[in-house]
Amino acid sequence: QKEVEQNSGPLSVPEGAIASLNCTYSDRVSQSFFWYRQYSGKSPELIMSIYSNGDKEDGRFTAQLNKASQYVSLLIRDSQPSDSATYLCAAPRGGNAGKSTFGDGTTLTVKP
Amino acid sequence: EPEVTQTPSHQVTQMGQEVILRCVPISNHLYFYWYRQILGQKVEFLVSFYNNEISEKSEIFDDQFSVERPDGSNFTLKIRSTKLEDSAMYFCASRGETNQPQHFGDGTRLSIL
């Protein structure tokens, strides 16, 4: 089992729709969770951090965390073509200075 | 805003040569990472570094690779006897305390001829 698993994608949504990206993690002691966006040919860019159960909203982005289910999601409302990218979920192991575990990423395409 | 800087942005090297990729992490960060991304593929973890030693490495990070923090600011990845399959984008990342996110540099595109 991978430490962090994301829905494999690719995911395609029409412009203006809600895009839903999902992630599960295996380490129950993970305390922090991050979503990164990577445009083709660019480096991953942090877009959301979430540490507590529930929802965290930032503009059109909402991160949701359920520690009991070991599940993290990212919702993108009013999707725009500029949201087309690969989204990486990260769930560092609790208290570990080593490998910060990333999912393989989900590629999102928003069609005009 | 502080950022991770990587040099060079593009490195072209003959197969069999050694290459050193350089990174300057964010100044107060404690943990440093190297990742590799072959064109069209996922980001792959190579190595993490903390307190002047490797804390974890992947199966990709074999004897061909080494990392060093030669001074208080630079963090380098050395690849010896480069092979064609080493051609990839290499990303450096750093983070502060536990539970803080990693911040990535813009990457070095390594092309082995």
Q: What is the pLDDT of residues B36-78, one digit of tens each?
A: 999 999 999 999 999 899 999 999 999 999 999 988 789 999 9
Contact B100 A32 (CB under 8 A): yes
Q: Given pLDDT bands bounded at 50, 70 and 90, which one contains residue B91?
A: very high
Hey, what long-range contacts does B100-104 have (CB within 8 A, 24 or more apart)?
B100/A32, B101/A32, B101/A34, B101/A46, B101/A49, B101/A90, B102/A34, B102/A46, B102/A90, B102/A100, B102/B31, B102/B33, B103/A46, B103/B3, B103/B4, B103/B26, B103/B29, B104/A36, B104/A43, B104/A44, B104/A45, B104/B4, B104/B35
Structure-token pair, residue A54:
């529930």
Contact B106 A43 (CB under 8 A): yes
Distance from CA of B72 to the nearest CA of A (A): 19
Residues 6+ away with beta carbon under 8 Å from A8: A104, A106
The predicted pLDDT at position A100 comes to: 66
